[in-house]
Amino acid sequence: MDLLNTLVDKGLRRELPTREEALAVLATSDDELLDVVAAAGKVRRQWFGRRVKLNYLVNLKSGLCPEDCSYCSQRLGSKAEILKYTWLKPEEASQAAAAGVAGGAKRVCLVASGRGPTDRDVDRVGKTIAAIKEQNEGVEVCACLGLLSDGQAERLKDAGADAYNHNLNTSEATYGQITKTHTYADRVDTVQKAHAAGLSACSGLIAGMGESDEDLVDVVYSLRGLDPDSVPVNFLIPFEGTPLAKEWNLTPQRALRILAMVRFVCPDVEVRLAGGREVHLRSMQPLALHLVNSIFLGDYLTSEGQAGQADLDMIADAGFEVEGAGTSTLPAHRSDLAAQAEAAAAPAGGCGSHGGGAPVCGSAEPAGAAEAAGCGSACGGCSGHAEAAPVRAQADAGGVRSDLVSVRRRGAGTDIAPNA
């Protein structure tokens, strides 16, 4: 296909595709799927080889959130029967993190429900970061605590945090349909605060809430404009007891096309396959490794993933290798510029390639149209919802699928060993 040849060439040059090209990827047929995966795989291998970075989630504080995000099992008014507990002690969080590191995780993601941290919460998380790094030499720590106030990103950086996650989740045009208690602009502001403090910015999306192809392209182009180092792609986990419990709009084939589109738009960025991969990709998960270079190991915030050993076996069987602690995840042109930006305590420049020679966003959204929102890859199913035409080939639309959604009952906040 001329489209795929063009996208591969652009990806190898770190050049932004046109919106029409991105939309065309989502519109390809199932007959063309393997061609799409192979093309995006060439771009993935150019910048990340056959390495897979493992990340591990620790839910520091679960449930009882005052925000009303429709996709989230921890939301205000949620009837999902998830674990609910207040802040883990630093030693408890460190013990939970150690299980993931022992399983091969290179990064530990510390997540807490809520609108955003108080200054006391930031101090608490700082002590947790110190405890984790003391016990696990070389581990990266990413915090995901919601909306940040002035100065909090700098304090997290000083406490040893390496990164901050706050997802955009969905397009700016449809954001108000999924959340009323904060705005899209609030999310963008938090990502920009993290950038400015020298933290590696992590910001992504949630697919599968009934959004249109245009919505998906909008949010990915906005993310490219924000220039995060990592982009987690979540697929909605429709928890029973949440407003989107009956939103089953994804097939494995559509999920793969979405991942391919993200890779073409963000060729040299850590694209992470996050919450919902087991639910929606199912037996086709190994194909996704040709598109993404990062996954979560084991369980998510409130839902259970497949066994950690099964993740490791899948990576090996597909011909990939777990990325070691001594290996830089990002290509040199991004990691070098990120280090320079950190030294200057200023945001890194440049839209998707850290300013490294690629066009600045081309026809992407204007600056400020890219905003990141909480929970990152956290809830294991955060996403945006749009008044859109239904996605073709809907899977069991209109019904709750409790057989595919398993609520987490082990690990952090319990006395049962974690899955890692």
Check: CB of residue 210 under 8 Å from CB of residue 385. yes
Residue 252 included in any domain? yes
Tokens for 310?
Answer: 């099964």
Are the CB atoms for 364 and 172 separated by under 8 Å?
Answer: no
The question of whether 272 is a catalytic residue gets the answer yes
Q: Give pLDDT < 70 ranges for the chain.
A: 74, 76, 78, 337-403
Is residue 315, in this structure, part of any structural domain at all? yes
Query: What pLDDT does residue 281 have?
Result: 97
DSSP designation for 254: H
Q: Does residue 177 belong to any structural domain of this protein?
A: yes
Q: CB–CB of 139/106 below 8 Å?
A: yes
> Per the domain annotation, does 15 fall within a domain?
yes
How high is the pLDDT of residue 387?
30
Residue 233: how many CA atoms within 13 Å on its side-chain side?
Answer: 31
Stated pTM of the model:
0.85
- Whole-number pLDDT of residue 153: 98
pLDDT at position 417 is: 83
Which one of the listed residues 69, 361, 375, 382 is annotated catalytic? Answer: 69
Residue-wise pLDDT tens digits, 221-256: 999 999 999 999 999 988 888 888 888 999 999 999
Q: Which two tokens stand for residue 145?
A: 């605590």
DSSP structure class, residue 395: S
Helix or strand (DSSP H, E) at 54: strand 51-61
The answer to the question of residue 271 being in a domain is yes
Given the residues 144, 202, 379, 382, select the one marked as catalytic: 202
Q: How far is CA 28 from CA 181, 191, 253, 277, 393, in A?
A: 37, 32, 10, 21, 13
The verdict on residue 327 lying in a domain is yes
SS (H, E, C) 81-135: CCCCECCCCHHHHHHHHHHHHHCCCCEEEEEECCCCCCHHHHHHHHHHHHHHHHH
Closest CA to 201 of 158, 142, 262, 264: 142
266 noted as active-site residue: no
Find tokens 């409790």 and name the residue. 402
Catalytic residue of the set 124, 257, 263, 272: 272
What pLDDT does 343 receive? 62
72 catalytic, yes or no? yes
pLDDT at site 168:
96
Q: What H or E segment, with its residue span, contains residue 295? A: strand 294-296
DSSP 410: S
Query: Which H or E run contains 164?
Result: strand 163-165
Q: Which of 14, 44, 65, 361 is catalytic?
A: 65
Full residue range of the structural domain in which residue 8 is found: 2-53+162-344
Is 142 annotated as catalytic?
yes
Catalytic residue among 14, 19, 72, 254: 72
Asked if residue 418 is part of any domain, the answer here is no
Residue 367 lies in a domain: no
Number of structural domains the chain divides into? 1
Q: Among the options 75, 109, 124, 408, which is catalytic?
A: 109
Catalytically annotated residue among 75, 124, 142, 254: 142
- 3-class secondary-structure state, position 62: strand
CATH number at residue 310: 3.20.20.70
CB atoms within 10 A of CB 333: 17
Find tokens 């089953």 and name the residue.
248
